[in-house]
Amino acid sequence: MAIFTDPIRDYADFRPGDAEWLHLLVGDWQLIADLAFADLALWFPTPDGSYVALAHVRPSTTHTVFHRDFVGERIRADLKPLVDAARESQTIERSSEADWTTEMAMRVEAVPMVRNGRTLAIVTSHMDLSSSRMPSRLELTYRQCAYDLLKMGTLGLWPDFASPTGSRRGAPRVGDGLIRLDADGVVEYASPNGVSAFRRLGDVESLEGRSLAEVTTALLKDRRMVDETLPLVVTGRMPWRTEIESRGVSLSLRAIPLRNERERFGALVLCRDVSELRRREMELVSKDATIREIHHRVKNNLQTVAALLRMQSRRMVSDEAKQGLEQAMRRVATIALVHETLSQGLAQNVDFDELIGRQFRLSAEVASPTQAVRTERTGEFGELPSEFATPLALVINELVTNAVEHGLAGRHGTVLLTAERSRRGEEELLTVSVEDDGVGLPDEPRREGLGLQIVRTLVTSELGGRIEWTARNGGGTCVRIDLVLNNNTAR
């Protein structure tokens, strides 16, 4: 997938960290768009003196002023002088008068994003001025916060590489709750949603004028479980995330320090009630643990069945009955191995290479107690959906056993297992081959035994594939299986 800086890589004079810094900006500038109640566009200078739009973000706190996507297009002639001025002065430039369109009046600001003394790109902010009402205290505070962050961008202080970049579930947003702190960590302003979030934790007083660190400390019941980053987040000293929990309520906090050239003069703290998210995650963890335990118990039960079959085979007088029970024991053990693999992970898919790596050699050794059989593997199965794993493992087990017992027919030899993944249009294909260098196919068709009947049934009915026996080049037999994997479940 192409990223937004790809179109400019041929001529962009990026130094170490510059491209990553712009990606960090675009990854976090939804925050500014929401605070500024404005659309933001990122412009990059081109060699011919113009600018190209690299990215655009719309606010979630108000309506957008641009309904058409203009990313990848050149800058408008009327906007270029303002962007040129910001790039040259490395300060925020504001249009002298409202920029009227056919539908609304806009106030446009151009903000140079400066890093190590160089203007890497310019952000333009486009805010609708057509509404004539007086802005509320919340709007004025939000816009001031947006201005402070953009001003930090002109100084190279925002975005900060120390900020969390992962897509952690429950990351707070502006609309979830915003608290502005002064340099000492005292609350200057708390949005209604921010106040409500702390009230759910148990705080019933107003937040403004109080130390957020002291408020948070008073709400914590079990301080042994406190995240060590919490003091630095609630005082606004570091741009980190943390969580606090009290009275069954989980609150996610993110701090963004506000700095100028000399000092830190305040901070923003975003907060979000993630109680329901964490409850669902705990339910999923519990379900995953239950599923793993079920696979583990099924594996144990199958191993018990295999042990009973082994004990029963020892009591048999007939060689044919012994052989039949031993074959049944191997099949049960193969299914148990698949469940053992499923019990060790949480994914829907199975690393089939790891599973079959153990099973392949074991199948050959069990089938050839008195002959030297060498096993070789080429290619990769990759991850397969769990519903493929059991029948395919059984099929390979039967084919390897058949190759040793009938293909090599008591002689020394080699059994080769090959896997190949490929694509045919939208379909993902898996081709599996089991080859031996033994006596080859019989001249006349023989009656299929139980093992080959199981193989044919599993391949055609369970796996929906096709199987074919052919003579191997150089002598021996090759069994080829063609399967179509579901793109939604196999990777």
Q: How confident is the model at residue 487 (pLDDT cuts 50, 70, 90)?
A: very low
CA dist., res. 403 & res. 415, Å (int): 7
What residue ranges in 81-156 does DSSP mark as E strands?
A: 93-94, 99-100, 105-115, 118-128
Find where tokens 């039960």 sit: 301
CA dist., res. 299 & res. 318, Å (int): 29
Q: Examine the pLDDT at 104 and tell me if it is beyond 80.
A: no
Computed from CA positions of residues 142, 147, 152, 158, in that sequence, does the dihedral angle turn out positive or negative?
positive
Report the pLDDT value the prediction gives residue 54, as an integer from 0 to 100: 95
Q: How confident is the model at residue 73 (pLDDT cuts 50, 70, 90)?
A: very high
Which residues are CB-neighbours of 29 under 8 A, at least 6 positions away?
Answer: 40, 42, 57, 123
Among residues 105, 106, 104, 107, which one has the least CA distance to residue 93?
Answer: 107
User: Would you call 490 helix, strand, or coil by DSSP?
Assistant: coil
Highest-pLDDT range among 23-37, 151-165, 168-182: 23-37
Report the pLDDT value the prediction gives residue 445, as an integer from 0 to 100: 65
* 162-166, 214-218, 382-386, range with the lowest pLDDT: 162-166
Report the pLDDT value the prediction gives residue 337, as an integer from 0 to 100: 65
Among residues 368, 400, 376, which one has the least CA distance to residue 477?
Answer: 400
- Comparing 174-273 with 363-491, is the CATH topology the same? no
Q: For residue range 333-381, what is the model confidence (pLDDT) as tens digits?
A: 766 666 666 665 555 677 888 778 777 877 777 666 667 788 889 999 8
CA dist., res. 85 & res. 94, Å (int): 10
Report the pLDDT value the prediction gives residue 183, as an integer from 0 to 100: 95
Structure tokens given for 121: 């790109």
Structure tokens given for 36: 């500024």
Q: Examine the pLDDT at 224 and tell me if it is beyond 70.
A: no
Q: How confident is the model at residue 405 (pLDDT cuts 50, 70, 90)?
A: confident
Beta bridge partners, 44, equal 52
CA dist 264 → 150, 211, 235, 401 (Å)? 15, 17, 11, 72
We find that the CATH architecture of domain 363-491 is: 2-Layer Sandwich (3.30)
What is the dihedral angle through the alpha carbons of 228, 234, 239, 242, rounded to the nearest 10 degrees?
Answer: 50
Number of H helices, E strands in the chain: 12, 18
Over residues 179-188, the mean pLDDT reads 96
Structure tokens given for 441: 């196919």
The 8-class DSSP code of residue 223 comes to G
- 174-273 has which CATH code? 3.30.450.20
DSSP letter string over 429-443? EEEEEEEE-SS-S-S
Beta bridge partners, 252, equal 243, 272
CA dist., res. 82 & res. 5, Å (int): 23
Structure tokens given for 56: 């655009």
Over residues 92-98, the mean pLDDT reads 79
CA dist., res. 463 & res. 74, Å (int): 53
Q: Examine the pLDDT at 490 and tell me if it is beyond 50.
A: no
Structure tokens given for 390: 């059991």
CATH fold of 6-154 reads Beta-Lactamase (3.30.450)
Report the pLDDT value the prediction gives residue 367, as an integer from 0 to 100: 65
Query: Other C-beta atoms within 10 Å of 370: how many?
Result: 5
Predicted model pTM: 0.62
CA dist., res. 376 & res. 416, Å (int): 5
Where b means 16+ CB within 10 Å and e means fewer, 44-71 reads: bbeeeeebbbbbbbbbebbebbeeeeee
Q: Examine the pLDDT at 412 and tell me if it is beyond 90.
A: no
Beta bridge partners, 481, equal 432, 467
Contact 142, 61 (CB under 8 A): yes
CA dist 370 → 334, 365, 373, 457, 476 (Å)? 22, 9, 9, 30, 20
Report the pLDDT value the prediction gives residue 491, as an integer from 0 to 100: 40
* 238-247, 264-273, 303-312, range with the lowest pLDDT: 303-312
CA dist., res. 460 & res. 111, Å (int): 64
Q: For residue range 421-466, what is the model confidence (pLDDT) as tens digits?
A: 988 888 889 999 999 888 888 776 666 677 778 788 888 888 889 9
* 90-99, 291-300, 440-449, 473-482, range with the lowest pLDDT: 291-300
Computed from CA positions of residues 304, 306, 310, 316, in that sequence, does the dihedral angle turn out positive or negative?
positive
Domain spans of the chain, in order of start: 6-154, 174-273, 276-346, 363-491
Contact 390, 299 (CB under 8 A): no
Q: Examine the pLDDT at 132 and tell me if it is beyond 70.
A: no
Contact 444, 473 (CB under 8 A): no
Q: How confident is the model at residue 299 (pLDDT cuts 50, 70, 90)?
A: low
CA dist., res. 328 & res. 398, Å (int): 11
What's the whole-number average pLDDT of the chain?
83
Over residues 107-112, the mean pLDDT reads 94
